Amino acid sequence: MAFLQWRKFNFFDKETVKDPETNETFNQLKEVNVSACVSGGGQLIVSDYEGKIYFISRSLQVNSFAAYDIRVSHLYQLKQSLSNLLISVGEDEQGVNPLIKVWNLDKMEKGVPVCTRITRAIPANKPTPVTCVAAHENLNWMAVGFENGTVLLFKGDIKSDRHSKQSIVYEGKSAVTGLAFKSAGKNIILFVATESVILSINVSGKDKMQTTLDEFGCKRGCSVMSDMSQDNQFVIARDDALYFYQPDGRGPCLAFEGEKFQLHWFRNYLVIVGKDAKQFPKAPIIRAGQPIEQHMVTVYDIQNKFIAYSAPYPEVIDIISEWGSLYILTGDRKLFLLLEKDTQTKLEMLFKKNNYTLAISLAKSQQYDQEGLVDIFTQYGDHLYFKGDHDGAIDQYIKTIGKLEASYVIRKFLDAQRIHNLTKYLQALHTAKMATEEHTTLLLNCYTKLKDVSKLDEFIMTKDREIDFDKETAIRVCRQAGYYKHALFLANKHNLHEWYLKIQLDDIKDCGKALEYIGKLEFEEAENNVKRYGKILMAERPDETTELLKRLCSDFKPSDRPLVDAGDLEGGKGQQSTQRAPAEQFIHIFVNNSAKLTEFLEHMISLNSNSPSLLYNTLLELYLHDLTHQPKSEEKEAKQKKTIDLLRNPQANYDLDQALVLCQMNNFQLGILYLYEKARLYQQILRYHMDNDAYDLVIQTCNSFGMQDPHLWVQALSYFAKKENLKQQLGVVLHNIDKRNLLPPLLVIQTLAHSPTATLSVIKNYIIRKLQTENDQIAEDERLIKQYQEDTEKKRQQIEELKTTAKVFQNTKCSICNHPLELPSVHFLCEPHSFHQHCFENYAENENECPVCMPENRKIMDIIRAQEHGRDLHETFHNQLERAQDGFSVVADYFGRGVFNKVTLITDSPGRMSRSMSGK
């Protein structure tokens, strides 16, 4: 039976308790016949068979008082509850007459605690010795076990007699050896151990249900309640093993062999006092003539499965725990102190033995902080690494993630070329979200180096996986390593459009996919990316690209979206107008692919006739280019028609000048002519026809546009004049010139004179007609001159008359009132007119003018004045001169107005009043 035990350590330091004052071994209990020991409330409590209870303080001051007249047999201290209560069982009278006393240790009177309750403990009037006592920490339950196998339960406040009910909950055949309370939810469970059976009783339930846990029992003192770490199981010790019990059944068992005397629970340790299984060869210590048995005190850590301390002591009376230490009272009345080592020391001991696993679980159970644990993991990792167990080491290092510098680990494994382990570590690093860019790079490099595509797949492609790495780095590394698929996946998943397209186009060269992808993007993204990659795409996939561009420039919607967004229908219309990209920005993409550009532009224009001029210009250019390079004539015609249609389209918003230049460059006559016409460049049209010697067209042009620009005719004239044998045309031209009076005949003659061909016969008619007209004009003018001369003569005579001859006023009637003239009267020389003076004074505006003639005179005076005034209006003159068909007549007109007169006109009217005041 080798090593059928747990590992043994020495986690406790043994000290003999010494009196601090005398520095001698504590021996004040030397004469005490100890019956029971408990601890709590900062003191050790010992009772003896003489009825005394001793309190030992930390500084080893011993106080005692007589609690019973005869003896104290049992003590029970409530440790966790607030009130510091001590329950004792003893006897005041002879015979079997056990008495329970409850002491309140907080209230001392003259060094004696107040006794709050005295109760007789006699079940069913059958006196029997008490074997054990237990109380629940809530102070409402107390149980007493008896030698005859009876368990007496007290319910109600244990401090006082009054509200307490007692009942017998169990009657067995063998002595009760252990009692313990446990709270399980709302139920209060009482564990009962007798010498022959272990059972649990639900004392809070009405029927006090009993569950027999085992058919064998335990000795006195060999049962204890474990703590939370062991789920408050009831532990009993038997010679073959330790058994753990739940209220409903047996739990695990630990096969620690050997006879056991006492069981204690200290913190998370189980302390067993027993006989060493192995017989010591040492002779038993002889004291006072009596051999004292050697007992083995063993401290077990049940949770972590090791023995924390084990040492022999001479006849242990009891073990008490207080002030965080264990006190062992031995048969020779010595008090030993077991001090637990601090966790650090313990761990160091474990490290020395390379027992890291245990160190870790120990540290965990000691609520060791994270940093401390990481330290252990690191040491463990280092140890395993040193031993060459790289797999194990990395597992430990992974646990240090977040605390230990990752580079420490990485360097170790990089140096050792342990890429597998490194990969694992890096993966964990990523899962813990502690990875930096470099880590991601490194991990991906590891994958690629290992050629572990499946892992890479898992790392990158796993869907719905949280991203714990830097995406861009990952993409970059994947690209570099040639894992385009992965890079692509990442880019796609994380909407890194730029990356996606870069990879798709530069690395994979799958333009179709790229296009499809762009089509799914949001508008702005799509636009930008098309601008960036349009050329490549166009070169590879012209059709699809064109389609995409068409969509982009009309009303773009990501292709994987329903045509109509729900939001749009719900009245968000105003906000989200369809987005379209300006088509002109994409024209450059179509370099070298004019057919597609044409298609695109046509689509755009048909979609939106209001497109910018650049579109039309480009389209026109394309058409023209096509036209020039089109060898087949039939197609050429169709193209021509298309082109001209475009030009004629009133909505086509092309740039006129540019269009013209384009047409000229490509020698597209129809277009040129149309554009001339549109631009009102009639001269150009004419010149064009002239250059092409299209005589009929020249005439036709003159006819069509002569109204707008009469000079066309003149040009036509000089053009025809230079040509030979064009009498007919010349005639037409001359006729028109004549009709519109466009040129003075002299100029016509001059023009024709240069002509080598125009014979007199051509212009004979013209000249004759012209001369005839001139003659008529001259005759007319002469007639007018004559008439004016006569008028002038007449006026002169009149003036002379007025000046020289007397004027007889013969009027009999007043010119105003038509009544017979009476004196006083006023006469004017003009007609002559005569007026009554009073009439004259009433009507005349001034004395000098005849009221009858005055309006006429005024008119004349105004004309004269206006003429004089007009003299100074040079600008008007020039203006009129320029605009006038016949400048000469304007000059003549002004001349007539006396513009060039130096002498000012005499303002005195010829009808100057001569007033005669007849009768005066």
Partner 1 sequence: MSYAYLFKYIIIGDTGVGKSCLLLQFTDKRFQPVHDLTIGVEFGARMISIDGKQIKLQIWDTAGQESFRSITRSYYRGAAGALLVYDITRRDTFNHLTTWLEDARQHSNSNMVIMLIGNKSDLEARRDVKKEEGEAFAREHGLIFMETSAKTAANVEEAFINTAKEIYQKIQDGVFDINNEANGIKIGPQHSPSNPSMPSGGGNAGPSGNCC
Instruction: Report the residue number, 192 or 358, with the smaller CB distance to partner 1.
Output: 358
Give min distance, CB of 254 to partner 1, in A.
Answer: 4
Whole-angstrom CA distances from 830 to 248, 281, 309, 313, 912 are: 158, 184, 164, 174, 8
Helix count (H) and strand count (E) of the chain?
Answer: 30, 33
Roughly what angle, to the nearest 10 degrees, separates helices 695-705 and 727-740?
10
Give min distance, CB of 3 to partner 1, in A.
Answer: 7
The Cα 165–Cα 142 span in angstroms is 10
Contact residue for partner 1 among 254, 450, 749, 802 (CB under 8 A): 254
286: exposed, middle or buried (Cβ count in 10 Å: 0-12, 13-18, 19+) = exposed
Whole-angstrom CA distances from 791 to 230, 269, 788, 893 are: 152, 157, 5, 20
Which residue shows structure tokens 């070169």?
539
Contact residue for partner 1 among 20, 42, 252, 402 (CB under 8 A): 252
Site string for partner 1, 563-592 (x = CB under 8 A): ------------------------------
Instruction: Report the residue number, 242 or 742, with the smaller CB distance to partner 1.
Output: 242
By CB under 8 A, the count of residues binding partner 1 is 20
Give min distance, CB of 267 to partner 1, in A.
Answer: 21
Give min distance, CB of 401 to partner 1, in A.
Answer: 18
Contact residue for partner 1 among 63, 344, 357, 700 (CB under 8 A): 357
Contact residue for partner 1 among 205, 249, 558, 820 (CB under 8 A): 249
Beta bridge partners of 191: 180, 200
Max CA distance (Å), the chain: 202
Q: What one-character-per-residue DSSP string does 335-351 give?
A: EEEEEEPPHHHHHHHHH
Beta bridge partners of 285: 292
Point out which span in 104-112, 187-195, 239-247, 855-863 binds partner 1 (CB under 8 A).
239-247
Point out which span in 234-242, 472-480, 520-528, 829-837 binds partner 1 (CB under 8 A).
234-242
Instruction: Report the residue number, 256 or 533, with the smaller CB distance to partner 1.
Output: 256
Give min distance, CB of 466 to partner 1, in A.
Answer: 21
585: exposed, middle or buried (Cβ count in 10 Å: 0-12, 13-18, 19+) = middle
Under the criterion CB under 8 A, does residue 34 sit at the interface with partner 1? Answer: no
154: exposed, middle or buried (Cβ count in 10 Å: 0-12, 13-18, 19+) = buried
Give min distance, CB of 243 to partner 1, in A.
Answer: 9
The Cα 156–Cα 532 span in angstroms is 88
Beta bridge partners of 273: 262, 297
Residue type, 52: K
Contact residue for partner 1 among 96, 108, 253, 374 (CB under 8 A): 253
Under the criterion CB under 8 A, does residue 523 sit at the interface with partner 1? Answer: no
Give min distance, CB of 189 to partner 1, in A.
Answer: 16
Closest-CA residue to 216 (of 177, 158, 163): 177
Point out which span in 252-260, 321-329, 403-411, 615-623 binds partner 1 (CB under 8 A).
252-260
The Cα 733–Cα 743 span in angstroms is 11
Tell me the three state secondary structure of residue 553.
helix
Give min distance, CB of 264 to partner 1, in A.
Answer: 20
Binding residues among 901-920 for partner 1 as defined by CB under 8 A: none
Instruction: Report the residue number, 242 or 409, with the smaller CB distance to partner 1.
Output: 242
The Cα 852–Cα 840 span in angstroms is 10
| Strand blocks (E) in 698-770 | none
Under the criterion CB under 8 A, does residue 1 sit at the interface with partner 1? Answer: yes
Give min distance, CB of 223 to partner 1, in A.
Answer: 17
Contact 176, 164 (CB under 8 A): no
Give min distance, CB of 234 to partner 1, in A.
Answer: 15
Tokens of 755: 């002509």
Tokens of 835: 């007026």
Site string for partner 1, 265-304 (x = CB under 8 A): ----------------------------------------
Contact residue for partner 1 among 241, 339, 536, 767 (CB under 8 A): 241
Whole-angstrom CA distances from 150 to 192, 455, 608, 769 are: 10, 69, 106, 165
486: exposed, middle or buried (Cβ count in 10 Å: 0-12, 13-18, 19+) = buried
Site string for partner 1, 377-416 (x = CB under 8 A): ---------------x------------------------
Under the criterion CB under 8 A, does residue 3 sit at the interface with partner 1? Answer: yes
Contact residue for partner 1 among 105, 242, 273, 511 (CB under 8 A): 242
Binding residues among 4-23 for partner 1 as defined by CB under 8 A: 4-7
Instruction: Report the residue number, 4 or 569, with the smaller CB distance to partner 1.
Output: 4
Binding residues among 129-168 for partner 1 as defined by CB under 8 A: none
Residue 226 phi, psi dihedral angles, 5° rounding? -85, 175
Tokens of 771: 């001369």
Give min distance, CB of 255 to partner 1, in A.
Answer: 4
Instruction: Report the residue number, 243 or 590, with the smaller CB distance to partner 1.
Output: 243
Which residue shows structure tokens 């060869």?
281
Tokens of 229: 């770490």
Point out which span in 149-157, 251-259, 428-436, 456-464 binds partner 1 (CB under 8 A).
251-259
Point out which span in 238-246, 540-548, 654-662, 804-812 binds partner 1 (CB under 8 A).
238-246
Instruction: Report the residue number, 182 or 833, with the smaller CB distance to partner 1.
Output: 182
Within 451-541, where are the H helices? 453-456, 471-481, 484-493, 497-502, 511-520, 523-540
Point out which span in 145-153, 240-248, 500-508, 785-793 binds partner 1 (CB under 8 A).
240-248
Find the radius of gyration of the CA atoms of the chain: 67
Instruction: Report the residue number, 251 or 731, with the smaller CB distance to partner 1.
Output: 251
Instruction: Report the residue number, 384 or 589, with the smaller CB distance to partner 1.
Output: 384
Beta bridge partners of 181: 190
Instruction: Report the residue number, 233 or 643, with the smaller CB distance to partner 1.
Output: 233
Contact residue for partner 1 among 163, 305, 573, 754 (CB under 8 A): 305
Q: How many CA atoms lie within 13 A of 170 on its CB side?
A: 31
Instruction: Report the residue number, 186 or 282, with the smaller CB distance to partner 1.
Output: 186
Whole-angstrom CA distances from 339 to 15, 269, 271, 323, 564 are: 8, 13, 14, 10, 79
Instruction: Report the residue number, 1 or 563, with the smaller CB distance to partner 1.
Output: 1
Instruction: Report the residue number, 7 or 722, with the smaller CB distance to partner 1.
Output: 7
The Cα 271–Cα 319 span in angstroms is 9
Contact residue for partner 1 among 251, 258, 612, 898 (CB under 8 A): 251
Contacting residues toward partner 1, per CB under 8 A: 1, 3-7, 240-242, 249-256, 305, 357, 392
